[in-house]
Amino acid sequence: MLDLIYALLPKPVARNRATDNARQATRLLVLTDGHNPTFTYYLEERLARSPFDVHVRGLTERLGDVDPDGLHVIVCRYIRPRQLLWLYRNRRRLAGASLFIDDDLAATVTAPRGSRLYKAYLMAMGIAPLPVLNRVLTDIWVSTPALSAALAGGGVNTNIVLPPFPPEEAFTPLASSRKDDGRLVMAFHATGSHDAEHAFLIPIVREILQRCREVHFEVVAEGTAARLWVSSGLPPERFTLCPKQEWVTYLAETARRHVDILLVPLLQSRMNDVRSSTKRFDSARMGAAAVFSLCAAYDRAADADEILIDNDAQSWIKTICRLAEDGDLRRRSREATMNAVRSHLANTSVLFPAMLVNPETRP
């Protein structure tokens, strides 16, 4: 049944490709639900380096004062009805319209687990607008080749892959303000659609805290996942449940606070199989030694000294215990992740796709 619902849900498709207006673009307008991880990891730095006049507007802002001529619009994941209506009315005057998407929203909505509230939000903001939005779009930008293939659904794949390229503050730790009190901070930060990963980690973390008395565990969780952790029986003096924060606050806080070991599990699912490796930036920003699931998202362009393991509980327990006991291993792992980040950035273009040519050099 879930497979049938997935197949029936609308997917992003650029149906306005016939226009050649994209070469006339002289300005950029980005529609985004505030500052969020997608905007930071994929768009913010590219916009900062763009030769175009750039305007960024939240999803509740009106567009009546915007001149559509020569304008290329980038929709970051979501759009609200009033802005969608403006785009549709002006679709023939726009230079182009691109949707950037970094998740298979239909897969997330039809996943057997996950927050109902989050799924409802995805439906309202990301999926329900597509029948109209698709008639406006000239391009679909996606985060990974796997997501591109999934959204194409076996048809002609014309999606454009735009890998992450965040600003330096998104992967650079600040000088740690944490006192050296002998504790090792182990963390797992995940909200939204990671209930399966939370359930996977609970018995692992319970075992780690029994074996490694110096480890203190913190988790960012909400909803069902938070309730699972509260009832997990972890020692309260060595366990902290952190609420979800606004993205800008979380970004600054995780750069300031040091984490020794970051857990980054990713279980196999249609939703997870198309994800990118943005958690690497989180790990680097926290100055953490990361334990990643061995999967396509993290295996791609991994540094030789990074730790990637199968999703087997005993393998995770053994690996985390080694990290807790060996400071040199944590250092090598931490440095390896930063090397992987810098290698990725060195081999990734900061430019937007080719249809957004430099207005000074276009014919």
Q: Is it the case that residue 176 has pLDDT exceeding 60?
A: no
Residue range(s) defining the domain that contains residue 268: 170-346
Buried b (16+ CB within 10 A) or exposed e, 315-327: ebbebbeebbeee
pLDDT for the residue numbered 354: 67
pLDDT for the residue numbered 115: 83
Q: Do 146 and 190 have their domain in common? A: no
pLDDT for the residue numbered 191: 85
Pick from 135-149, 181-195, 221-235: least confident:
181-195
When computed from its CA atoms, the radius of gyration of the chain, rounded to whole angstroms, is 21
Task: Provide the number of structural domains found in the chain.
Answer: 2
Q: Quick one: how far is CA 58 from the chain centroid?
A: 19
Name the average pLDDT for the chain: 92
Domain stop point among 150, 165, 180: 165
Residue 118 has φ and ψ, to the nearest 5°, of -65, -40
Q: Is residue 342 part of a domain?
A: yes
Q: Is residue 231 part of a domain?
A: yes
The β-bridge relationship of strands 261-264 and 239-242 is: unpaired
Q: Do 201 and 137 have their domain in common? A: no
pLDDT for the residue numbered 16: 84
Q: Is it the case that residue 21 has pLDDT exceeding 90?
A: no
99-117 pLDDT, tens digit per residue, is 999 999 999 999 988 888 8
Q: Is residue 357 part of a domain?
A: no
How many other C-beta atoms can be found within 10 angstroms of the C-beta atom of residue 252? 14
**Of residues 99, 102, 106, the one with CA closest to residue 79:** 99
Taking residues 247-276, what's their average pLDDT? 95
Residue 56 has φ and ψ, to the nearest 5°, of -120, 130
Q: Is it the case that residue 181 has pLDDT exceeding 70?
A: no
Q: Is it the case that residue 359 has pLDDT exceeding 50?
A: no
pLDDT for the residue numbered 356: 61
User: What CATH number does the domain containing 37 carry?
Assistant: 3.40.50
323-352 pLDDT, tens digit per residue, is 999 999 999 999 999 999 999 999 999 999
Q: Is it the case that residue 179 has pLDDT exceeding 70?
A: no
One-letter amino acid at 334 equals: R
Q: Is it the case that residue 357 has pLDDT exceeding 70?
A: no
Cβ contacts of 322 within 8 Å, gap of 6 or more = 329
Domain stop point among 136, 165, 194: 165
Helical H runs in 212-312?
A: 223-230, 247-256, 279-286, 296-299
- 100-to-30, 123, 140, 280 alpha-carbon distances in Å: 10, 16, 6, 20
pLDDT for the residue numbered 362: 39
Q: Do 116 and 137 have their domain in common? A: yes
pLDDT for the residue numbered 360: 46
Q: Is it the case that residue 20 has pLDDT exceeding 60?
A: no
Q: Is it the case that residue 62 has pLDDT exceeding 70?
A: yes
**Of residues 302, 290, 291, 296, the one with CA closest to residue 268:** 296
Higher-pLDDT residue of 116, 248: 248
